[in-house]
């Protein structure tokens, strides 16, 4: 198996990406990695490592898409960017999985434009893992598709269920449709029609509508929404968790200064549990080939996790099973 | 001025509602209150108080809409419910403001069905105040309108700006449109068209699109979204803040047990800062007459705050100014 990684993508690239790739060699056995990006930069960080020769290939790409670049413009203008070259490897089947911690908008757009969808899939969707007190759930779509139709939502429910099963080795996840009330009649037209489609699929463990308050405390392992809602949700949560932990820490500093230092590992632990890189990144479900997005702030550990997850999902036939379920 | 309060609405009604009303008498001067609900229940809680005679009227209503009742069915079937009678007082102009901590869906539906909109207003929207490190912001709509059009979003921006000015006595709040990216081209069609409308209004301090991560940390005092997005957002935040504070507390109990007790006031303070009742409840903007929704768990203090806010907004000509701005 060949796994391709964007060496230049993310706030801590290339150093942390290269380190993460080297660490992944420990479990990769016969699989090889392609590091895509500026060869001199990659070599600078590989130079000190051993045992990578013959297991890591380098595909030179001269340009780099920055984290703040305009997505569509940058993928059009920077043809020889690591991100475009990476996606080409996935699109042409030269890599079984592609992984990037780079500019999210550019990466998602490049994958959507460059890679084909699986047979039967109408639109790809991004899935992320989020923590609940009772375990981890998967939410899709969190931003690939902001012009969502009922059939798309239904397909996200199927694809995210298969992804959940592969990721956590648990069968039949309970599926909830994110809405503004629990009754089937609640929500907008999109959600009401998607409800019917999910309800009609006897192979799906569909629990019905859930509300915002159930996302982090309810019983669904898979939660479905359109990309606009999911994107706002994901970004709100990420910033809110950070803010709240900062507030806890700064109030503690003032009111119980003797305990503030002891709190640091606690607030850090909580904050990091909301980082989806923990769970191997966020896949763009529904594409031919596997495409994984890591968080922009990914360190080596997050890159290693993503490589492990991508490899496992590929060996576990994630895509084949998505096709089989959708075309049943 | 006459302010009507649903004595039976909320998890802690009628006791806390009646207490909150009695406490409000201190600042109400010449204004009177109508308590709507089961007279025997109201009298039981009023009996111990003094000085309310002649200042509090009771309008008996035999039925009560429960917090878990189906909104539309309950307002249709329970004609003589406190909630229906309350809204009638607002709709007929017998009360200048109506306030309830009861079933949100039923209250909003009853107001939308029973009360007329202000001249020029297409659809009412619910505004809530949320905390940011730099101050408090207002978000609208958080659930009144799940079939939103660009013109509705634009009107929410205008109405929520006027509301913010009245609530915090600050002019020209910065307005952000909640989207999935900052560029004008980002988002779905609804947001792109609403962007144009806001941009074209030179009287609005419009900053453009904001993302989920800016909601609790950005610089906008007024944030606009469709009711579906706002409702999910509000409920996610409410449950997430509670969960996170519980997690901080329980990890502290295990890892730094000597400091856990000292943390309780801190986690409580943070949690309560996210309760919109603090800021006088959530108004349903755009209706003739003022309609305020208090949180279902409101205690007497929240009810008192809502009465104070309703009175101030009415004396401050909130509605007149909304009409003036929209029809400029």
Cβ-defined contact of A258 to B259 (cutoff 8 Å)? yes
Cβ-defined contact of A266 to B256 (cutoff 8 Å)? yes
B76 has a pLDDT exceeding 90: yes
Q: How confident is the model at residue B311 (pLDDT cuts 50, 70, 90)?
A: very high
List CB contacts (< 8 A) between B130 and chain A.
none
Q: Looking at chain A, which residue has its C-alpha nearest residue B226? A: A229
Distance of alpha carbon B37 from alpha carbon B35, whole angstroms:
7
Q: A181 — contact with chain B (CB < 8 Å)? A: yes
Q: What pLDDT is attached to residue A41?
A: 97
Pairing of strands A56-60, A206-210: unpaired
- Residue ranges for chain A with pLDDT beneath 70: none
Which range is most confident: A130-139, A182-191, B76-85, B128-137? B76-85
Q: B66 — contact with chain A (CB < 8 Å)? A: no
> Cis peptide before B130, with omega less than 30 degrees from 0?
no
The domains located in chain A, with CATH, are 1-121+286-318+324-328 (3.40.718.10), 125-282 (3.40.718.10)
B315 has a pLDDT exceeding 90: yes
H helices of chain A, in order, are 15-28, 39-46, 71-77, 82-91, 104-114, 150-168, 189-200, 212-215, 227-255, 257-273, 300-315, 318-326
Mean pLDDT computed over B33-45: 97
Q: How confident is the model at residue B175 (pLDDT cuts 50, 70, 90)?
A: very high
List CB contacts (< 8 A) between B134 and chain A.
none
Write the CA distances from A252 to A249, B117, B292, integer angstroms: 5, 47, 35
B70 has a pLDDT exceeding 90: no
Q: A53 — contact with chain B (CB < 8 Å)? A: no
In terms of Cα–Cα distance, which of B114, B52, B55 is closest to B83? B114
Q: What pLDDT is attached to residue A274?
A: 85
B278 has a pLDDT exceeding 90: no
In terms of Cα–Cα distance, which of A282, A287, A311 is closest to A298? A282
Half-sphere exposure of B242 (CA within 13 A, CB side): 12
List CB contacts (< 8 A) between A244 and chain B.
241, 244-245, 270
Mean pLDDT computed over B271-295: 90
Q: What pLDDT is attached to residue A328?
A: 83
Q: What pLDDT is attached to residue A219?
A: 87
Geometric angle at alpha carbon A249, from A243 and A254, rounded to 5°: 125
Q: What pLDDT is attached to residue B165?
A: 97
Token pair for A311: 């490899």
Write the CA distances from B76 to A170, A190, A203, A237, B79, integer angstroms: 44, 26, 37, 38, 6
Query: What's the pTM value of the predicted model, to 2 decimals?
Result: 0.93
Do residues B246 and B263 lie in contact, with contact meaning Cβ atoms separated by under 8 Å?
Answer: no
Q: B70 — contact with chain A (CB < 8 Å)? A: yes
Q: B266 — contact with chain A (CB < 8 Å)? A: yes
Instruction: Name the minimum distance, in Å, from the CA of B183 to any CA of chain A.
Output: 9
Residue B63's φ and ψ, nearest 5 degrees, are -105, 160
B328 has a pLDDT exceeding 90: no
Token pair for B250: 């329980």
Q: Provide the sign of the torsion angle of the four alpha carbons B8, B11, B14, B19, taken in this order.
A: negative
Cβ-defined contact of B236 to A236 (cutoff 8 Å)? yes
pLDDT digits (tens, 9 = 90+) for A62-78: 999 998 898 889 999 99
Do the interacting molecules here have an ipTM over 0.90? yes
């Amino acid at each position: 198996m060949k796994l391709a990684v964007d060496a230049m993508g993310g706030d801590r690239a290339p150093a942390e990406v290269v380190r993460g790739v080297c660490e992944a060699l420990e479990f990769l056995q016969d699989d090889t990695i392609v590091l895509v990006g500026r060869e001199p930069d990659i070599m600078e960080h590989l130079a000190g490592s051993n045992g990578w020769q013959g297991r890591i290939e380098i595909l030179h790409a001269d340009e780099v898409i920055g984290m703040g670049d305009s997505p569509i413009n940058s993928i059009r203008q920077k043809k020889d960017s690591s991100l475009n070259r990476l996606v080409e490897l996935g699109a042409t089947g030269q890599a079984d999985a592609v992984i990037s911690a780079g500019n999210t908008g550019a990466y998602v757009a490049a994958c959507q434009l460059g890679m084909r969808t699986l047979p039967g899939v109408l639109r790809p969707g991004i899935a992320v893992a989020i923590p609940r007190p009772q375990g981890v759930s998967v939410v899709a779509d969190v931003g690939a598709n902001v012009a969502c139709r009922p059939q798309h939502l239904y397909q996200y429910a199927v694809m995210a269920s298969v992804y959940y099963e592969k990721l956590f080795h648990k069968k039949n996840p309970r599926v909830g449709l994110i809405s503004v009330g629990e009754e089937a009649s609640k929500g907008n037209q999109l959600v009401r029609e998607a409800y019917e489609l999910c309800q009609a699929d006897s192979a799906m463990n569909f629990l019905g509508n859930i509300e915002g308050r159930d996302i982090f405390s309810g019983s669904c392992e898979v939660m479905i929404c359109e990309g606009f809602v999911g994107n706002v949700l994901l970004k709100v949560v990420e910033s809110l968790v950070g803010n709240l932990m900062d507030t806890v820490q700064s109030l503690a500093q003032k009111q119980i200064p003797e305990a503030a230092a002891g709190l640091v590992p606690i607030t850090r632990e909580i904050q990091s549990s909301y980082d989806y890189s923990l769970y191997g990144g966020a896949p763009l479900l529904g594409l031919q080939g596997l495409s994984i997005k890591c968080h922009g702030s990914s360190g080596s550990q997050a890159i290693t996790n993503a490589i492990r997850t991508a490899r496992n999902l590929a060996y576990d036939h994630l895509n084949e099973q998505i096709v089989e379920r959708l075309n049943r």
